[in-house]
Structure formats: structure tokens, C-alpha cells
Amino acid sequence: MTVTDTDTDTVAETEQPAEPEAPAPATPRRTRRVLWAVARWTAAVVVCGGVGAGTAMGITALDRNDVPGLATESDGRWEYPALRLPALPADRPRPFTQGNDGEIHYADIRELLLPAPAGATPDPELKGGFVSTDAYLSLYGKEFRGELRKALADSTLRHIAARGWTTPDGTRTHIHLLRFSSVAYAEAYKDAALQAGAADGPKALPDGVEGVVLENFADDVDVPDTSMYVFREKQPYGPDQVRWAYVQAGDTLALITHTRKGEALAVPFQQTVTLQNQLLG
């Protein structure tokens, strides 16, 4: 068979191998290093962002006092334990409820004394039990004791319970609860003998106190059915200043005193008086 020129060209075209595709250029080492660096920095940013967000969320979830450097300074209040009213004898009402016309505290009066705050040193003479009339009268100036003793003898005083303590700042606290047979006798002793509500101050003053200043925070303490009279020793005073208050709640009259070298601080005194008032009310 004869092969023509045309056939030869066709065979040549058919049998000629195709040119191989150019191989993909290899990634240069420099490019790979850049990609790895970018990946590492991206991961670092993500991690740091997560840690930062977690820290921020942790701080915002904490109370301000739990964050170092952001704690709120104390305003001077003492740390008292949780307060609870004592149980009543069976079938006995609270002092200011219907049917208790004498406004009598049927609970043990010793259990109505405010407990000492944290860190305080108890007074060995005033441990929360009953005390004598003379122990109570020793808080007043000698010139007032005779008349007050006579007024108490003429009244129907039943018990005097007392507790005392000294806090680390040197404040000496005494609380006396005088329980009478009814609200009428408690009010008579407060008004006639002590004259606690007199416009120019009480008649009987604590031992060593010569001048008195009326306090006004009593108007801000809202305890129903109780009356509160608050005073402080007027300058010039000796090495100690005295703050004291009367709380009359039904058949019971409380005397609260704070005495401290230099100055008896207002905040813990207001706190103490308010809490004792709440226990009696």
C-alpha cells in the first residue's frame, strides 16, 4: 500500500506526543514562613481576646468589694450577728398586738438585749443577765441617783437586764432594759423622773456629763409603736465623750450609752440604738 504525503502528515500528527503540562510552581519557602507566622499571630490574637474577655466578665461578675483596689471603705458600722426575736410563751401575744393593752413584752427580757458585735470584749459585770437597781443607777451622776431610786421604788419595776462590751476602737457600750408591769409605768418613769422628752434636755444626766445636745437622727428611725430620745455630751467635755439614748417600747425602757476617749463616734452609736429599738419593737 502506498502512503501518500497526506497520509504521512496525518500519521505524523497522530503519533506526535502531546506536550507535557507545565508543573505547578513549588511554593517558595519564604511564602510558607509568612503563612505560618500569620497563623500563629491569628491564634495568639484569638487566645488573648478570649482571656481578656474572660477577665472582664469575671470582674464584672464580682462584687465591688471583691476586686482588689475597688473595695469600698467601711463607714464605721460594727458587724453585729443576725438578730432574731425570741420565742414567746404559749398563747402570749407580741407587745403591740390587739388584746395586749399593757404592751407587755412576754418574752424573756434578757433575750431582747442586743448582742455584742464581732471583735468586742464583753463586760464581765454586764453579761446579759439581770442586774441590781444600784448597778443601773451608777450610770448617772451622784446628784440624780437618790431621786431616781425613789421613783423606781414607787413604780412597778420588775427587772433590769444589762449587757456591756468594749470594741477595739475603745468605745464602751452599756445597754440596760428596765421592764415595768405596763406601758403606763414605763412612760411615767421616763416622763416624770428622767424627763427624757423635755425641750431643754433630760433632767438626769450620765455620770460626769454637765451639758447636753439633742440628736436628730431619731426622726429617721421608723420603728412603729416606740419612742426614742437621743443625746450627746456637749463640749467642752473631759477625756471621754458620752452619747446616750432612751427607747421606750411598751412596758420596757432601754438606756443605751456609748463612751469613748476623745469622741464617741456617731455611726456605730446610731446603728446600736436603731438595732436595739428594732428588737424591742
Say what the pLDDT of residue 226 is. Answer: 96
**Interval 45-70: pLDDT, tens:** 333 344 333 333 332 333 434 333 33
Domain ranges of the chain: 30-68, 109-280
When the pLDDT of each residue in the chain is averaged and rounded to a whole number, the result is 81
Say what the pLDDT of residue 265 is. Answer: 97
Find, among 140, 143, 151, the residue nearest to 206 by Cα: 140
Quote the CA–CA distance of 243 and 271 in Å, as a whole number. 13
pTM for the model stands at 0.74
By the 8 A CB rule, do 140 and 207 touch?
A: yes
Mean pLDDT score, 19-40: 44
Say what the pLDDT of residue 258 is. Answer: 98
Mean pLDDT score, 138-162: 97
Percentage of the chain surpassing pLDDT 90? 68
**Interval 79-102: pLDDT, tens:** 999 999 999 999 999 999 999 999
Give the CATH architecture of domain 109-280. Answer: 3-Layer(aba) Sandwich (3.40)
- Least confident range from 14-23, 218-227, 272-281: namely 14-23
**Position with higher pLDDT, 73 vs 63:** 73
Residue 33 above 70 pLDDT? no
Sign of the alpha-carbon torsion through 54, 57, 61, 62:
positive
Say what the pLDDT of residue 69 is. Answer: 36
Quote the CA–CA distance of 152 and 186 in Å, as a whole number. 10
Say what the pLDDT of residue 8 is. Answer: 36
